[in-house]
Structure 1
Amino acid sequence: MKNKKLKYFLLIMAAVSLVVVLSGCQMQNMYKAGQKPPTGAIYGTLYNILAVPMQHLINWTAAKIGGPSGYGWGILIITFIVRLAILPLMLYQSNKATIQQEKTKMIQPQLALVQQALKDVKSQDVQAKLTALQMDVYKKNNMSIMGGIGCLPLLIQFPFMIAIYQAVMYSPEISSGRFLGFSLGQSNIVVVIISTLLYLVQSFIMLKTVPEAQRQAMRITALMGPMTTFFIALIAPAGLGLYFLVGGVIVVIQQIIVTYIMTPRIRKRIDKQLKTKPVVEVVTEQTISNLMAQNGTAAASGNSAASSATAANLEKIHERNRKRNTGKQRNR
C-alpha cells in the first residue's frame, strides 16, 4: 500500500513539474498575457507542435461561436470533446484497477500475515524470503502486484494540457479574451474553486468502494488529485483552469459509472469465479512460523503476541466476508 501511495504521489508531482517545465516560462511570468512565444530546440519545438495547432483550433471554434465569450466556449468545447474521447480508456483503466482491488481483498488475510512478519523481523535474509512469499501469493492467485495501475490516460492528457496553456499564454487574442466576465489570461479563483470541488466530489465517490478498514489511509491519496488541481489552476491562466473544470465534470461522471455500475458487476463476477476457483492459500501462520524456524531466528517465538493480534484481525476479515456472502445468497 505504501509503495502504491508513493508511486501515485510521485506521479502527481511529476505532472506538476512537467506542466511548469514544458511551459517554458517562469512562475512570475504566468500572469503576463501575450508573452513572446518560446524558442529553442525543445521549447520552441513543443510550442510549434502543440500550441500553434491548438491556437488555430481555438480561434476557429471561437469564430464559429462568436460573441465576447467565444474563446472561452471554444476551450470548453474542445476540452470536452478530447476528454470524452479518452473516457473509454479511462474506464478501461478503472475497470482493471477495480478488479485488482476486489481480488486483493480476497488475499488480504495472507498479505496481512506477511506484512506483520515483515514488521517484526530485522534480518534482511528473512525479509527477502517473506517478500518472495508475498509475491508467491499474487502469482499463484493469477494476480499482478502492479495490476490495474496505469499511467497512460494521465500521460495522454499532458500534451493537451501544455497545448492549452501555451495557446492561451502566447496568443494575444486568446489571452486577452474574456469568458463570463473574467480574463482567460489571468488566474480566476472561481474557476479554481469549482474545479477543485469537482475533483473532491470524485474522490468522495471513489472512497465509497473502499473497505472501511482502508478508507482512512486512502483519504490522503484521494486528496492528492484535488490538491494538485488547486495548485496548478491557482497559478495558471483561467484558460487552463477551464480545462480542469471540464475535466472535473468528466471524472465525476466516470467515477459514478465506476462506483455504481462497474464495481457491483465486478464483485458479482468475482464471487461467481471464487465458487469454481477459490483463493489459493499460500501463507498461513504455520508457514510464517516454519520460515522463522528454518532461518534460526528468535522472532518466531517473540511474535506470538503479534500473531494472536493478527489472527484476531484476520478472523474479523473472514467474518465480514462470511456475512457479505451470506447476504448475497439471501438476496439471490
Structure 2
Amino acid sequence: MDRKALKAAPLGRVPRACLLALLVGAGQARAELQSLSETELSEVDGAGIGLVLENFKFAHGTDVENGRIFKIGGLKSTDGRDVEIVVNKLYIAGSGSNYGETLGPVNLGRLVNPFSIDVVDGNTIGVPDKAVLEIAAPRMLDPSVGFDCMSATAVAGSGTCASRPASVDYANGERPDVGLQMNVAVGDDRSANINIHARSAVIDGSYLRLWGDNNRRQMVGQFKLNFYTPELSINACEQDGSNCGSRILMQNFALELALGNQLQPMFFDVDGTGNFVVEVAAIRRPQTGEIGEDGLRSSSNAERWDFYEDYYTNPDYRSNLSIGNLSVGDRNFGSARVEGMLIQHLKIQTRDLAP
C-alpha cells in the first residue's frame, strides 16, 4: 500500500485511507498528499469515502439562445398534452447571496467531519447481519463542542451542528445559500415561476441507509433528513421576473424527518405497471396474550413488550417541524410546531397520467 494519503484528523467511522477531498475553486481541483506516520497508518481500517468541497460555488441558469436549458420531460397530462418542468435557476453558494443575486464560495463538510459514503456493519445500527450502504451528511456533535444550527453568529459549545457559519475565523463557513426557480409547461400553457430560497442551510445528521431484505426480495432503507435554515422563502413571479406575488417567509425553519427505522423499515419496489412504490409498512399489531391487560412488562411477553416500548418511545423514530415565525407578505401568523410525529404507515406510488 502507498504510504502517502491525505492527512486529516480522525473521522470516526469514515476511514482516512479513502478520504477524498475536493478543493473546488477558480475552475480547477487541487489536492495535496502528505506522508502518514506509522501510528497514523495503524488507524487505517478499510473502505469508505469522505467528501469535502472547499471554495465551492454552483450556479445554473437557463439560456435558450445558447442551448443551456435544464428541464424534466417525458410526462403527460390527463388530456394527453406534454408536460415539462423547466429549471430556470439553481444555485448553491456562500451565505449572503441575496436570493442568488450575489454568489460567493462556501465550504461543504470538513476534513474532520465530511460527507461520507460507507458500508456500515448493520449490527452496530440495529440491522442484524446486514451490510448497509450509508450516504451521510456531517454527523451531529455533542452540544459542548457543536454549533447552534440556526444562528449566523454561532460559536463552539452553542448547539449540536458541526457545520459552522461564515465568520472571520471560519472563512466561507459551511452553511450554503440554496435556491431554485422553476416553472411547469403543460402543452403551450406555462405557469409562473416558482422561487424557493433557503439561507445558511444545514443538513447535518441526515443520512440514507440501504440494504436488501431476503424475505421480500426488495431494497430496504432508512431516510433521515435534518434541514435547518434561519429563512426559507417561497413566492411566484411572471416568467420575466416581474409581478411577483406575496412572499411566504418561514423564519427559523427546522425539519427533522424520519422515514423508516430498524423496527419498521422503508421498502422500495416497482409494480407490474412500471410505477415506483415506496412504503413504510404498518407496524404489526400485538397478538392475543402478547401484551397483558394492565400493559405492564411483567404480565406480557417480554420480547414483544420491549419491541413496542422501543417503537413508541425512541425519539429517533419520530419527526419534528418547527417554524419560528410564518409570514405572508406583510402579515405575520406567528410560530408553528409539530413534535413527535410517528409515521405508522405510509405508501407512495407513482401513477401514469397518460390517458
* TM-score when normalising by structure 1: 0.22
Higher relative contact order (CA 8 A, sep 6+): 1
Which one has a larger percent strand, Structure 1 or Structure 2? Answer: 2
- Structure with larger Rg: 1
